[in-house]
Chains A and B, each alone.
Chain A
Amino acid sequence: MKVSDLVDELGLTVYSGAKGLDREITGGYVSDLLSDVMGNSREGQVWITLQVHQNVMAIASLKDLAAVVLVNNFQPHENTIRHSNDENIPVLGTCLPTFEITGKFYQLFKQ
């Protein structure tokens, strides 16, 4: 599954990093604690979070994550968008809360 498939299937907003939409997804990680994501996420995962500042992109890039999904209609900071475009790692958005978007993603991914 590619990031673009996730965008289409779940109706996600693409805020930035559109050049990375063809990244392959290996799974997902859900956390708002940055050290948790730093320590435990794996390459190619989609990270679902409510954190919107640019350190999110530093971690996504260092960990080679496939994309970041912001929940609850949270908007990325300007620096986050810039970093996302530089690294070609998409920042996506949904109006759904974490529980619901994670459930939908999980179901889709396990198909």
Chain B
Amino acid sequence: MKLTFSIQGSDFTHAGYPSSEVKKVLKQLDIDGKTIKKIVIALYEAEVNVVAHAWKGTATIEIEENKISMLLEDEGPGIPDIDLAMQAGYSTASKEVRDMGFGAGMGLPNMKKNSDELIIESEVGKGTKVKMVNYF
């Protein structure tokens, strides 16, 4: 099964919609609750990163018998130093985004902690690709 969502930069009103839809589908498929929780955390954080930092992007979710693959591709500023971005507490979020309670430098660590595989590719000035895989 394949689900595709478009994500608009700065549009916080719809942040969480893809995660919510994926959660519903996984529940219907009777996937273990603990696994669903991890997937939802990882996907939500990835979504919020696109909204908070990029101009626009897409989330492509592929659910197979034994795993879920989540690909988030955005057009945006990119990440100059991925290792630095992965550090807990490091953030480049705007003041506006921080005032909402985002941008505390916990997003990428949350994604790493809650996915079985995480690959980040980024090109400065062009965009970022994040691929996460969780096994059922």
Contacts and interface: CB of A to CB of B under 8 A. Distances in A.
A58 B101 contact: no
Interface residues of A, number: 19
Contacts, number: 60
Interface stretch (B1-9, B11-19, B54-62, B75-83): B11-19
B124 interface: no
Interface stretch (B37-45, B66-74, B127-135): B37-45
| Contact-residue bracket for chain B | 20 to 34
Interface of B: 12-13, 15-16, 19-20, 23, 37, 40-41, 44-45, 48, 100-102, 104, 106-107, 110, 113-114
B48 to A, nearest CB: 8
Give chain A's interface secondary structure class. Answer: helix
Interface of A: 32-36, 38-39, 43, 49, 51, 53-55, 58-59, 61-63, 79
